[in-house]
Structure 1
Amino acid sequence: MKIKKYRQASSIWLQFKDALKGYILKKTKNLELADEINQLVLMKVIDSCCSDVQIKNVRSWLFQIAHNTTIDYLKKDIKYVDLEKEIQEKTEDNVYLEIEPFVSALIDFLPEKYGVPLRMSDIEKLKQQDVADKLNLSLTATKSRIQRARELLKNEIFTCFQLNIEGAKGLNDIKLKDSCKPLQATISKNNQ
C-alpha cells in the first residue's frame, strides 16, 4: 500500500517539478541550488504521502512546500554565513584590541585629509554627518575619506607590526617591527 502512495507522490511531483524549480529559481537565483531544494521538496512530498491529511489543491500544496523549504534552506545558509563572518570579525577585533594603544600614533602618520576625519569618527565617536559639517565636506566625501583612511591605517598596521595569527585561535602574538622607526620614536617619546 505504501509503495503505491510513494509512486503516486512521485508522480504528482513529476507533473509539477519544472514549475516548482522555476519558482525556487526565482527565489534563489542559483540553478544548482534550485535543483537541490527541488529534491528536498520531493523528499518532503514523499514523507507526507503516508499521512492521512486530505489535500484539496495539490498545486497549492506543492508550492507551499516549495516556498517553506526554500525559506528554511536560505535561513540555514544565512546563519552559516553569519557565523563565519562573526568569527572573522572577532578575530579582527582581537587584533585591533592588541594594537589599540598604538592606533592614535598610527593615525598621525596618515595624510591630514584622511587622518582628521578618521580620528573624529572612530576615536572621538562623532557621527559621520557631524564630521562632515565640522570639516565643511559633503557626507559622501567624508565617508569616502574615512573609508580610505581605514585602508591606509590597516596598511600602516601591517607595515609596523608582525602579526602572528593561528587560524581559529586568532591573534597569537604581536610584535613591533624594527623597521618601523617613526612609531618606535613616538613610543619612546611618550614613555619618557
Structure 2
Amino acid sequence: MSPEELWMMYNPKLKAYIRKKVSDQYEAEDILQEVGLRIQKSASKIQEITNVEAWLYRIAHNLIVDYYRSTRKYELIEDIVEIVEPKATGQENYNKETAECLLKLVEYLPENDQEAILECDYKGTKQNVLAQKWGISKSGSKSRVQRARKRLTAVLHSCCEVKKDHAGNIIEFENKENNGTGFSCLKC
C-alpha cells in the first residue's frame, strides 16, 4: 500500500483521534500533518509493517505526548524583573541583563519581526491567535516567529560574544570589540 493510499484511508480516523486528545484545532492539524510526513518518510518500510493501523495510531499517540511535553516546558514570564538566577549552579549569570538587551535589540528588526517577538515572546500571545490576527495559517505564524527569533539572535551575535553553561544560562556576554567590560553590548 502506498503512503498516499494509507493517508486517504486513515486520515479521517487519525484526525478524529487527535482531535479527541488535543483541544486546540490548529495544534491538532499540525500533529496530523506530522503523521503524514512520518508516513512519507517511512514509505520504503510500509510493506514490512504487519499492523499498519496500530503503527499509525502509535505515531499519532507519540506526537500527542510530545506536544503536551513541549507545552509544559515554557511558562510566560510577565516581567523581565521576575527572571531569577538559579541557585543550583552557584555561578553568576547574565540572564536578566541579556533579556533586557534583547528587548532593546528588537528595535533593529523589521516591523513584522518586531511584532512577532513582542507579541509571542514578551506578551505571551498564542501563535494561533497571531495567525488569525495576521490572516495567515498557524504554520505560517510559527514560521514567522521562528524567523524573527533567528534574526534577533543574529543581531545579538553581530556585536556580542555569548557563552552559555550546560543549563542554558548566559555566563559570559561581551562585545566583540572586547573593551574589557564584563557585560556590554554595542547596540544597547
Q: Same fold (TM over 0.5)?
A: no
What interval of TM-score do these two structures reach, taking the shorter chain for normalisation?
Answer: 0.3 to 0.5
Structure number with the bigger relative contact order (C-alpha 8 A, sep ≥ 6) is 2
Structure with the greater alpha carbon radius of gyration:
1
TM-score, length-scaled by structure 1: 0.40
- Going by fraction, where is helix more abundant, 1 or 2? 1
